Structure 1
């Protein structure tokens, strides 16, 4: 990771001022309060892994209130943030929720007003990830920002360990491999949030969470050609009729959504340089299509091109 800010070597009398100035460059409306009398220390390191920006931050005891986000780097406006607590404790407040967080916990933040309070020696690994990817499976981020996703969950521990290793080894990955690993990491974070939401969701949100769990299950089992509405209902523990009702409340049909996700996954693989050597039929089977002919018909109806034409055009554009 590359160091983008550090108070190391600065006169301790001016370190907090320098930190404030570094944030002011982002043109955000932020109120900062140093919470103890010890010299202020902070360090920020960045690493780009595929489309994801990963930031490791350590700092002294501090209260940070963000009233309004400023100008963001071009292309990052559609990103939310997953935060893994690596050391220390903190308190996160956003969208009416207040989470007390300890080492190993995960929480989600979005670009809306928030308050973060950290203990001395706190260290966090921030991962910017596409908001659209989160919301396509889990619904609006307002349902789970500042929600403690505990270290005791196996999925949280796995996601944290994955990103710590990804940061350590990221500079060894070819660009195509980095993109694939970033996608795997996002899926792990989505699975962690889904598991947490399923534990103790308020009743008004229960239907939403069932749909979120169903969509997470579909993402993990797209390659299973037998996956359909009945199997999905059994997997999430509700009747088929109830699951159909819940999907209808979201303006969707179960079968249509499954096929849509299969087509989107196949389209992504068709333009992935890392798997360009694989036959189209192999990619189709891997996305749950029972035959190449069936895949070709559905794909052309969706994208207006045959899979072969779609792949060829993408390769020509990339060359």
Structure 2
């Protein structure tokens, strides 16, 4: 990876503009306000560097952070699933050690790892570091790559071509993020989520997934808008019994065929309700476009999944973008 310039986002904090004796308190206060649940320790007095830049990225957000050596720990505060994120962490400069769920990895320049905000984690900055963080809605990632749950705090080495491709895409995004319109931000987020499959860890996981499951997932994605899509049709397209395919799906994903269809439809509808391109559509139209035949049934299932009605979900998204 070439020399990195992490400038380009909107500045939230730059310690160079803060009196030296106030820098530690200012950094601690800003970091714990921006990222609730964090606790910090080990920051030396009067740190010479420290900056946080930010840009919204559709349903997620992008951060560029420069920090002196520090230890960061996080404990989730029991927020609803709809507000949880999976964070992609690119080490642009320096070294960071990540710990989560009995796993740990050392990130050096160009390396990537993922952190799941549903669970506690710890990050140890060994030296002065520059990090690029992309906070992605957890449900958006897990619905596409459920195996990601097994890859937190796992090294995706920068020398791997897939990881390098993702890193360079993120750095390119950094320099244009503030100029993207809302619809472009959503498209960029969805494109990066798909690109996660190119990283070494996910590629291995996908290669180990039974090929019939992969084909079934592709078939479901292609046919989700069709209201009459059934588990039997998915199984017939794979020339296998529904019972056998259900077993394979449960082993690989923890969901039956029907369960996965419902999960993907609900996630797509949730994404559309946040998307400005669907701002003029009624909730019933969003439901029909994602294969739901009964708007009332859709609304009940949506509330069970996201702990909010479709209308409340749309209103929250509008509040966040204004």
Query: Does TM, scored on the shorter chain, surpass 0.5?
Result: yes
Measured after TM superposition, the shift of residue 101 of structure 1 is: 0.8
Q: Which runs of 5+ in 1 are unaligned?
A: 234-239, 277-295, 306-313
2:10 aligned partner: 2
Match of 2:177 among 170, 173, 192: 170
* Equivalent pair of 1:84/1:124 in contact (CA under 8 Å): yes
Which position in structure 2 is the counterpart of 1:86?
Answer: 92
After TM superposition, the structure 1 = structure 2 runs for residues 308-319 of structure 1, keeping only pairs within 5 Å, are none
1:252 aligned onto 2:256: yes
- Indicate the residue corresponding to 2:61 in structure 1: 53
Q: How does 1:11-22 map to 2 (within 5 A)?
A: 11-22=19-30
Q: 1:241-275 CA distances to partner (integer Å, 9 max, x unpaired)?
A: 98653214434138x85798589769977996659
Compute the displacement of 1:2 (Å): 1.1
User: Distance between the aligned counterparts of 1:220 and 1:118, measured in 2?
Assistant: 42
1:211–1:243: 8 Å Cα contact kept in structure 2?
Answer: no
Residue 77 and residue 272 in structure 1: after superposition, are their counterparts in 2 closer, same or farther (change >3 A)? closer
User: Could you give the per-residue CA deviations for residues 203-225 of structure 1, whole angstroms, max 9, x where no partner exists?
Assistant: xxx97x558982897299738xx
2:51 is equivalent to residue 43 of structure 1: yes
Contact 1:137/1:212 (CA < 8 Å) preserved in 2?
Answer: no
Distance 2:130 2:168 in 1: 15
Q: CA deviation at 1:128?
A: 0.9
The structure-2 alpha-carbon separation of the partners of 1:71 and 1:22, relative to structure 1 and needing over 3 Å to count, comes to: farther
Q: Which has the larger radius of gyration?
A: 1
Please tell me whether residue 180 in structure 1 is matched to residue 187 in structure 2.
Answer: yes
Paired residues in the alignment total: 273
Shift of 1:17: 3.0
Pairwise CA distance, 1:95: 0.7
1:165–1:13 distance in 2 versus 1, CA, 3 Å: same
**Structure ranking higher on relative contact order (CA contacts 8 Å, 6+ apart):** 2
State the secondary structure of the residue aligned to 2:155: coil
Q: 1:299 aligns with which of 268, 288, 291?
A: 291
Cα displacement string for residues 91-122 of structure 1 (whole angstroms, at most 9, x for unaligned residues): 00011101011122211112232211123331
